[in-house]
Amino acid sequence: MYPLDAKCYRLLYEVGSGVSAVVYKAVCLPPMDSSVVAIKSIDLERSRANLDDVRREAKAMALLSHPNVLRAHCSFTVDRHLWVVMPFMAAGSLQSIISSSFPDGLPESSIAVVLREILHALSYLHGQGHIHRDIKAGNILVDSDGSVKLADFGVSASIYESHPSSSVSLYMSSSSSSFFNDMAGTPYWMAPEVIHSHMGYGIKADIWSFGITALELAHGRPPLSHLPLSKSLMMKITNRLRLEEHGRDSTGGGNCKNKKKFSKAFKDMVAACLCRDPSKRPSADKLLRHPFFKNCKSTDYFVKNVLQAVPVVEERCKEPRVADCNGNDRDGSTSPLVKSRRVSGWNFNEDVFELDPVYPVESDDKCVRFGGEEPIDQPTAHPHSHVVDDDKSGNEADEKENHRRHHNHSRAEEKEVAKKAGEAPLSVLKQTLVPNLVSLLSSLDLQRGMVMDVLSHCGCKDGQQESLREQQLWGYVRSMQQTVDDLKLQLLREMKVNAELQERLGPLNRKMNEETGGHTGS
Amino acid sequence: MKGLFKSKPRTPADIVRHTRELLIYVDLNSNSRDTKREEKMAELCKNIRELKSVLYGNSESEPVAEACAQLTQEFFRENTLRLLIVCLPKLNLEARKDATQVVANLQRQQVHSRLIASDYLEANKDLLDLLISGYEDMDIALHYGAMLRECIRHQSIARYVLESEHMKKFFDYIQLPNFDIASDASATFKELLTRHKSTVAEFLARNYDWFFTEFNSRLLSSPNYITRRQAIKLLGDMLLDRSNSAVMIRYVSSKDNLMILMNLLRESSKNIQIEAFHVFKLFAANQNKPLEITSILVTNKDKLLRFLKDFKIDKEDEQFEADKAQVVKEIQALKKENTS
């Protein structure tokens, strides 16, 4: 029994902090057993979650009992803070382990060990009618003996903070309400049906996040995390993400040396989790029977091969910018800015792209493949300046002409690129696409202007010049607003196109490699 | 129907009867620790889980209305609910959770378009006393608490609890040091005071004096931040409900109440300030302010206006701004009355 009084604990040092929560390593003072605990102190005043949510989560956490699920010893309020007393997991979160010692990901045999433990946790949770809704390396805690626990069920203030607009309840309360309409979780790990929030979602959303987590452990970061948040979200919503195809792709042609990095069983397991149709994703129980876990090592293996290479959690927590100690999600996309800063430290031009999702275009005949590899970090800067420039230049007829030319030109270019797959760097595509869009915009503007003219001429017949002029002026104002809106829209589309292009680069490059491999062979 | 039960030879009613027999056995042999009891216990847990899967469905099938109705009817035909509640402390954690979900679900099951759970509880009101006393036992508090909240979905049952002596105990329960239990109790307290409008209005009218004395002194003036925050929110919910307008008028005519609210406005917690404002505005908007209210407002007029001028909330809220403008107007108008 742990005491419900702050006086009975001594806080040793901070092991993690978020916007409204801090996690401390602490000891329970004598006459209690002076055991070491982790205390998460959540600032209830700053946390945007309403108290009902906090209550539900605390309750869920108190009633769960499984070796792979982190259970709170107790919780009580200390003035404006809620203290949640938990077991101290000495090795910290997997995310923290990866970022301190395995930036390129963990070896596959070690991944299998932790994933199996997490599947046990998921199997238990799902059997209880619970959905975790935020499976990720940052929420998987490891103790020095290699025991693995899934953490952060809701009383996680950092999660509340990351989506202030939605009422986030991470953890559902009973199987009678296994569908949600609120957004919850951390975007990169989120399943499409969670993002399509109107559809509601069930336990299979956790399986998706589990698959993404597998990739995160393998690569050191979740897929798509090189993109700003909104884009990653948008891509999932707008694209037909068919990873089963991807799975076939990557297992089919085994020529490339990159592809030897992961076993077929692993790829197959991940691809099954990332099936777009939730009903086709395997359950946690079924996953446990997957060949990938067949010769899975014990947690001792994980201790020897991973934990011994990792500095103790205290050391990691002293370093600046080390995210995520003890399950406290500080990197968790509190803002895209933070995210990109964290991500920019990694190397993108690597074979690690291999397992990233592939976005095939809708119809196969249109399936243009692009080559070249120059990931763009700030694709938004460019179109913006173009737009401004073109807005200034007033020669509309020219612009229209330009637009047509650009259009044809870019089409030709696309074909060319497709032919020479691999030779045209993405920047070329960008150069053609951006002006193309910009001129499209100006042509729209021109047409709008013409319509406005026609309208004003028609109006003049009535002879009420004064009020007409006013109306005209208002019309212009409105059209200006419209233009601004259109520009925004175009910008978004442009961003999307860029993102798509980037996604297509991966497989194309592979294809190119195969081709060149074939050439040299022949 | 035949096909449905092919794999399960036992009908839902059979499962209930078997569960009841096991409960009786476990209840009578509570102290023996022999293997026979262990076996019966394991069997009981299995049966409770089966009840749950009939009511909630499982990964293979959705619940079947006919099966649910059969189960419910058999369950309430005899004292199964009482046995289950009484034996709950003897069950293991998983079985307790299953039992809680079964009891919760049964409250909503209709048999011949009647909620027979409600009839049963009305005839067995002492069970509610038992459930409420669960807040004093950490081990079972969350299970009994969840069952209790489902039971007070029935208006007559909520009325019984409201009018019982238990209402006074909630003022203690919601300030228990254990956060899980305290917040469960306050969820139940809130449910009791907001769910059934007419019953709540009746209760507040009849128990006005002791209730608001307790509410003001023990909750709104509590040294505990979370107690104050939850209480002021609940007060706003109650007073702003149309069905409680008589109670509201009475509340906003009291000088003592106004003083408490004005103190809450001065809190450093923004959340408390905002909730306090939603109650304070009722004092200001009251068109028949008693003299003692007017006099406090006039005395503090400058301070109040200055406070309101700086009082902003983080996100844009038109309703809040409109309310604030109205309160400012009311307070400014008080000046004219006073000087003329």
Q: What pLDDT does A299 receive?
A: 85
Q: What pLDDT does A317 receive?
A: 60
The C-alpha angle A150, A153, A157, rounded to 5 degrees, equals: 120
Q: How many helices (H) and strands (E) does chain A have?
A: 17, 8
Q: How many CB atoms lie within 10 A of CB A493?
A: 15
A274 CB near a chain B CB, below 8 Å?
Answer: no
SS3 content of chain B, % helix, strand, coil (to 5): 75, 0, 25
| Gap between the Cα atoms of A158 and A329, Å rounded | 6
**Residue B120 is assigned to a structural domain of this protein:** no
B62 CB near a chain A CB, below 8 Å?
Answer: no
For B187, the closest of A55, A75, A174 (CB atoms) is A55
Residue A75 DSSP SS3 = strand
**Residue B303 is assigned to a structural domain of this protein:** yes
Query: Mean pLDDT, to the nearest integer, of B187-202?
Result: 96
For A174, the closest of B94, B101, B269 (CB atoms) is B101
| Spans in chain A with pLDDT lower than 50 | 155-187, 193-200, 237-238, 240-260, 319-402, 408, 410-425, 459-463, 520-522
Nearest alpha-carbon partner for A511 in A360, A295, A315, A305: A360
Lowest mean pLDDT among A330-334, B144-148, B323-327: A330-334
Name the closest residue on chain A to residue B104, using Cα atoms.
A176
| Dihedral pair phi/psi, residue B279, rounded to 5° | -90, -40
Asked if residue B220 lies in contact with residue B174, where contact means CB atoms within 8 angstroms, the answer is no
DSSP symbol at B218: I
Asked if residue A339 lies in contact with residue A25, where contact means CB atoms within 8 angstroms, the answer is no
> Chain A residues with CB inside 8 Å of B184's CB?
55, 59
Number of domains in chain B: 1
| Gap between the Cα atoms of B293 and A348, Å rounded | 68
Asked if A4's CB is within 8 angstroms of B183's CB, the reply is: no
Same domain, A153 and A274: yes
Q: Which of A53, A79, A104, A134 is catalytic?
A: A134
Q: What pLDDT does B328 receive?
A: 94
**Residue A225 is assigned to a structural domain of this protein:** yes
Same domain, A369 and A421: yes
A59 CB near a chain B CB, below 8 Å?
Answer: yes
B61 CB near a chain A CB, below 8 Å?
Answer: no
| Gap between the Cα atoms of B149 and B243, Å rounded | 22
Nearest alpha-carbon partner for B97 in A175, A123, A68: A175
The angle, 0 to 180 degrees and rounded to 10, between the axes of the packed helices B301-310 and B291-299 is 70
Q: How confident is the model at residue B305 (pLDDT cuts 50, 70, 90)?
A: very high
List the single best residue of B180, B186, B191 to mutate versus A (max A Cβ within 10 A): B180
Residue A99 DSSP SS3 = helix
B222 CB near a chain A CB, below 8 Å?
Answer: no
For B56, the closest of A4, A55, A175 (CB atoms) is A175
Same domain, A198 and A313: yes
A80 CB near a chain B CB, below 8 Å?
Answer: yes
How many CB pairs (< 8 A) connect A and B? Answer: 65
Report the greatest alpha carbon distance in chain B: 89
Asked if residue B209 lies in contact with residue B257, where contact means CB atoms within 8 angstroms, the answer is no
User: Residues 250-269, chain B: which have Cβ within 8 Å of A?
Assistant: 269
| Gap between the Cα atoms of A90 and A93, Å rounded | 9
Same domain, A150 and A196: yes
CA-to-CA separations, A330 to A334, B38, B44, in angstroms, rounded = 7, 47, 45
Asked if B187's CB is within 8 angstroms of A52's CB, the reply is: yes
User: Is A182 designated active site?
Assistant: no
B25 CB near a chain A CB, below 8 Å?
Answer: no
Sheet (strand A148-150) strand order: A92-93, A140-142, A148-150
Beta strands in chain B (DSSP E): 110-111, 114-115
DSSP secondary structure letters along B14-42:
HHHHHHHHHHHHHHHTSS---HHHHHHHH
| Gap between the Cα atoms of B187 and B135, Å rounded | 12
Same domain, A225 and A291: yes
Query: Mean pLDDT, to the nearest integer, of B221-234?
Result: 95
**Residue A6 is assigned to a structural domain of this protein:** no
Same domain, A381 and A290: no
Mean pLDDT of chain B: 91
Same domain, A467 and A417: yes
Asked if A80's CB is within 8 angstroms of B177's CB, the reply is: no
Same domain, A167 and A278: yes
What CATH number does residue B319 fall under? Answer: 1.25.10.10
Name the closest residue on chain B to residue A49, using Cα atoms.
B271
Residue A36 DSSP SS3 = strand
**Residue B108 is assigned to a structural domain of this protein:** no
Number of domains in chain A: 2
| Dihedral pair phi/psi, residue A183, rounded to 5° | -80, 135
For B142, the closest of A54, A62, A176 (CB atoms) is A62
**Residue A43 is assigned to a structural domain of this protein:** no
Q: Which domain holds residue B232?
A: 198-340
**Residue A12 is assigned to a structural domain of this protein:** no
Residue A55 DSSP SS3 = helix
Asked if residue A255 lies in contact with residue A517, where contact means CB atoms within 8 angstroms, the answer is yes
Same domain, A211 and A149: yes
Asked if residue A163 lies in contact with residue A131, where contact means CB atoms within 8 angstroms, the answer is no
Same domain, A305 and A387: no
Asked if B105's CB is within 8 angstroms of A176's CB, the reply is: yes
Same domain, A245 and A298: yes
Nearest CA to CA, how far is A75 from chain B (Å)?
5
B177 CB near a chain A CB, below 8 Å?
Answer: yes
Answer whether residue B246 shows pLDDT above 50.
yes
> How many angstroms from the chain centroid is the CA of residue A178?
23
Q: How many CB atoms lie within 10 A of CB A263?
A: 15
| Gap between the Cα atoms of A40 and A81, Å rounded | 9
**Residue A208 is assigned to a structural domain of this protein:** yes
Same domain, A327 and A438: no
Q: Is A461 annotated as a binding residue?
A: no
Asked if A58's CB is within 8 angstroms of B179's CB, the reply is: yes
**Residue A149 is assigned to a structural domain of this protein:** yes
The angle, 0 to 180 degrees and rounded to 10, between the axes of the packed helices B141-151 and B179-194 is 10
Name the closest residue on chain B to residue A80, using Cα atoms.
B225
Beta-bridge mates of residue A37: A26, A87
Query: Mean pLDDT, to the nearest integer, of B155-181?
Result: 96
Q: What pLDDT does A488 receive?
A: 80
Q: Which of A289, A314, A346 is the last residue of a domain?
A: A346
Asked if A63's CB is within 8 angstroms of B179's CB, the reply is: no
Read off the tokens for A456: 């004003």
Q: Which domain holds residue A478?
A: 364-521
Read off the tokens for A376: 């763009």
Read off the tokens for A324: 């995520």
Nearest alpha-carbon partner for A137 in A125, A128, A150, A121: A150
What CATH number does residue A165 fall under? Answer: 1.10.510.10
Asked if residue B286 lies in contact with residue B294, where contact means CB atoms within 8 angstroms, the answer is no
Asked if residue B110 lies in contact with residue B135, where contact means CB atoms within 8 angstroms, the answer is no
**Residue B103 is assigned to a structural domain of this protein:** no
Portion of chain B with pLDDT greater than 90, in percent: 82
| Gap between the Cα atoms of A431 and A442, Å rounded | 17
Answer whether residue B122 shows pLDDT above 70.
yes
- Determine whether B258 is exposed, middle or buried from the number of CB atoms within 10 Å of its CB (0-12, 13-18, 19+): buried
Asked if residue B251 lies in contact with residue B205, where contact means CB atoms within 8 angstroms, the answer is no
